[in-house]
Amino acid sequence: MILGGLCLACVLGVWTWATAGSVVEERVLSPTVMPSPYEVWASLGALMERGLVSSIAATLKRVFLGFGMSISVGVSAGILAGSWRPLQSFLAPLVLFGRSLPLAALIPLTVVWFGIEDKQKIMFIFIATVPFIFSDTVASVLSIKERYVETAETLGATRWQIIFKVLVPLSLPDIFTSVRFLFGLAFGYIMLAEVINAKAGIGFLINQSFTRGGNMEHALLLLLVIGIMAYIIDRTMVWFQRGLFPYRKDL
């Protein structure tokens, strides 16, 4: 934590130094390229007037819905596939295709399939992340030591009892960790989707900042907002994870 704070302080110091000076010509970096921290902070009021709060709410709603669907499908299917190898082999080509699908191709595809409203953005997040959640869930299940399964079989457990009483509880901590990391991926993906016909959203505001006069202050401030939000959500998920799995001291 201390070293992380030191890193941020160093970045802020270099940023302040490179953008210092009341005379534009004396700056290391022009304000059109990189405004100073003060100039970025001073633009907060104008950004609030552009609907920052409603845009944050709109972005979070799309991410939570799309990623929530991805968790429901990816984790459920991943547990079954990790428990039953024929299903894993059957789904392997589809999952490989989904993981390799370029985002540049996925955006127009989801527009054709789901239109240009919020449904497209939610389904974009779902399709873009579900293969990764599935793969990580399968890997978490397969990483469980065979001796736990053998012990359950010796005690007379059925196949479904082994899945729900052995494989699921033991794999959940690692699945949760994977979901934490992949949420950051989904949070970045939604910025791409919000360029398409969005009337609110952080990605929409960033796009507007560049297309309407090149407002670099607002663009940088929005990037800082994204980073702060991602950090808060991640730390909240870590807090829940440690409460749910107190026996895992490595989390």
- Give the confidence band of 108 by pLDDT, cuts at 50, 70, 90: confident
State residue 212's pLDDT score: 65
88 residue type, one letter: Q
- pLDDT score recorded for residue 246: 82
Amino acid 129: pLDDT = 92
Average pLDDT over residues 228-238: 88
User: Model confidence at 214, in pLDDT bands (50, 70, 90)?
Assistant: low
CA dihedral 87, 91, 96, 97 (to 10 degrees): 180
Residue 32: band (very low, low, confident or very high) from pLDDT cuts 50, 70, 90: confident
* pLDDT score of 213 more than 80: no
In the predicted structure, residue 136 carries a pLDDT above the cut 70: yes
Is it the case that residue 241 has pLDDT exceeding 80?
yes
- The DSSP 8-state label assigned to residue 143 in this structure reads T
Task: Give the fold, CATH level 3, of 37-244.
Answer: MetI-like fold (1.10.3720)
Question: Given this model, what pLDDT does residue 123 score?
Answer: 92
- CA dihedral (147, 149, 152, 153) positive or negative: negative
Structure tokens at 13: 């110091």
pLDDT in tens, 146-197: 888 888 888 888 888 888 888 989 999 999 999 999 988 888 888 888 877 7
Give the pLDDT confidence score for residue 125 in this predicted structure: 92
Degrees, nearest 5: CA angle 90-93-94: 90
Tokens 């939570």 -> residue: 64
Determine which of 58-72, 120-134, 185-199 has the lowest per-residue pLDDT on average.
185-199
User: Could you tell me which residue, 141 or 214, shows the higher pLDDT?
Assistant: 141
pLDDT the model gives residue 179: 92
Report the pLDDT averaged over residues 16-38.
Answer: 76
Q: What's the whole-number mean pLDDT along residues 91-107?
A: 85
Is residue 35 within 8 A of residue 216, CB to CB? The reply is: yes
Give the per-residue pLDDT at 162.
87
Q: Which range has the worst mean pLDDT, 1-10, 49-58, 132-141, 159-168?
A: 1-10
Residues 6+ apart with CB under 8 A from 31: 19, 24, 39, 216
